[in-house]
Amino acid sequence: MSNKITKELINEILTLSKESDNELHEKIETMLDFYKSEKKQNKKIIKQNEYFLKQWDKQNIIAHEREAKKDEMLEQQSKMAAMGEMMDAVAHQWKQPLNSLSIMTDILISDFNDGLVDKRYIEELTQTTQNQINHMITTLSEFRTFFRPVTNSNTNFQIQECINSVQILMKDELIIHNIILYINIEDGLRINGKENEFKHLFLNLINNSIDAFEEKKKSLSRHIYIRAYQEKDKIYIEFEDNAGGILEHIIDNIFKPNITTKEDGKGTGIGLYMSYQIVEKNNGKINVHNSNMGAFFTITLQQTTT
């Protein structure tokens, strides 16, 4: 019984002490019954509240687990989509050197029959062949490291090198779509995080521009501008294209899952969602607006000192 109820009971008893013994006894019994009933009712309410709180916690746990599974599924879908795009990129990258190797083999046989093959000829042919093979090995190496992180811990890496790695994978894709990449990265600029995740992020943004060019059938002067610089304790990474921008009724929701500007069956709507998740996980922010040329993405990262 609470102190307040006990005090009220004592005061009530003192008030009743002036009455006869029988009346006093009856009223005290009535009061005790009332307080006992109230206490019992309070216990019942407390138990009910505890039950509802437990059910609420249980529902929250289930909802959290469901949300975590959903995010995991979306991340897996994003990786599979990226892997498919990368396999296409590798196929394009390998097509040209394989054709070159095939042509050089045919030329070698023809030149040998014509008596044109000598030591210098073999040395030059060997060097050209090795260059083509090195290009294929580099492409394959980038593809493997893109999907097989060397470590799960954060590393301190140069943005320029990260962009260069993505550019190697996207080289032929950019050529096929007649897109010129302009890169302006502040010298020696480094960020701390999982490099492969940032490769995935940059790949998504480049692919987003490629899709925008194709969707809007813009055929001339296709440009993507990538800039990175530091101001005080913040690093800014900017991606801008001249593909005409994002539709106004979509741009505010562009980072939500299953939002896409592409035709049915041509987009998953998870590329920019996963880009948003990557930036958020690295204590950053990503925003987009339409510039005079097209979509303008800005990534802001907090620079930490060690």
Domain 156-306 falls under CATH 1.10.1370.30: no
Residue 246 and residue 261 in contact, taking contact as beta carbons nearer than 8 Å: yes
Whole-model pTM above 0.75? no
**pLDDT for residue 297:** 97
Nearest to 241 by CA among 284, 176, 182, 153: 182
Residue ranges per structural domain of the chain: 3-71, 156-306
pLDDT digits (tens, 9 = 90+) for 11-65: 555 555 555 555 655 665 666 666 666 666 666 676 766 666 776 767 777 766 6
End-to-end CA distance of the chain: 57
Least confident span in 124-133, 134-143, 192-201? 134-143
Instruction: Write down the H helix ranges in 114-158.
Output: 119-147
Average pLDDT along the chain = 77
Burial of 220 (0-12, 13-18, 19+ CB in 10 A): exposed
pLDDT digits (tens, 9 = 90+) for 219-268: 678 999 999 999 989 999 999 999 999 988 889 888 887 555 555 444 44
3-state secondary structure of 70: helix
pLDDT digits (tens, 9 = 90+) for 177-231: 899 999 999 999 999 988 888 888 898 899 889 888 988 776 678 999 999 999 9
Q: Rounded CA gap, 303 and 306, in Å?
A: 10
